[in-house]
Amino acid sequence: MSLCFSRTCASRFARSATTSTGATNGRQRKGSKQNGGPVTRKHTRVAPTKNELLHANDASFEDLRRLGLSVTQSARVIAYRDLRDGYESLDELDEVPGLPKELRRKLKAQLTLEN
C-alpha cells in the first residue's frame, strides 16, 4: 500500500471528510429532518478544551485542522496513521512527511495515546 501525498489526494480526502460530517452540497439525505426521517449520529466529536489532550488515534480530519494543521498536513497525518493501523508513539509523527519541526513539537503537546 502506498501513500499519496499530492495536493489532489489531500483535497479528495478533505472533500470526503467534509461530506462524511454532514455536508450534502444541497442534496437531502435519506432520513434527514427535512424529509421527516429520524436523524441519528454515531457519536459527536467535541473539540478538546485548552487543557484537554486529543487522542492521536481517534482524531478526525476536522480535529487536526482545529489544532492548526493545513488540509494537506491533516490528510498526511491520518493517512500515515491508517497505514500503520494507529500510532504506537507520538514520536512516529516525526516520520510523517511535510510536518515542520515546530508544528510536530506543538502537535505532540496537544495529542495523547493514553485512554
* Residue 15 in this model has a pLDDT that exceeds 60: no
Q: pLDDT grade, residue 35 (50/70/90)? A: low
CATH code, residues 13-18+48-115: 1.10.150
Query: Mean pLDDT throughout 64-93?
Result: 96
C-alpha dist (Å) from residue 102 to 81, 94, 97, 98: 20, 11, 14, 12
- Output the pLDDT for position 81: 96
More confident residue, 33 or 93: 93
With pLDDT > 90 as the criterion, what percentage of the chain qualifies?
53
Cβ neighbours, 10 Å, residue 31: 11
Q: pLDDT grade, residue 52 (50/70/90)? A: confident
Q: Could you report how far apart the first and last alpha carbons of the chain are, in Å?
A: 29
Cβ neighbours, 10 Å, residue 52: 10
Distance, CA of 98 to CA of 43 (rounded, Å): 31
- Output the pLDDT for position 83: 95
Annotate 89-104 with three-state secondary structure. CHHHHHHCCCCCHHHH
List of residues 6+ apart from 9 with CB closer than 8 A: 75
| Extents of the domains making up the chain | 13-18+48-115
pTM of the predicted model over 0.85: no
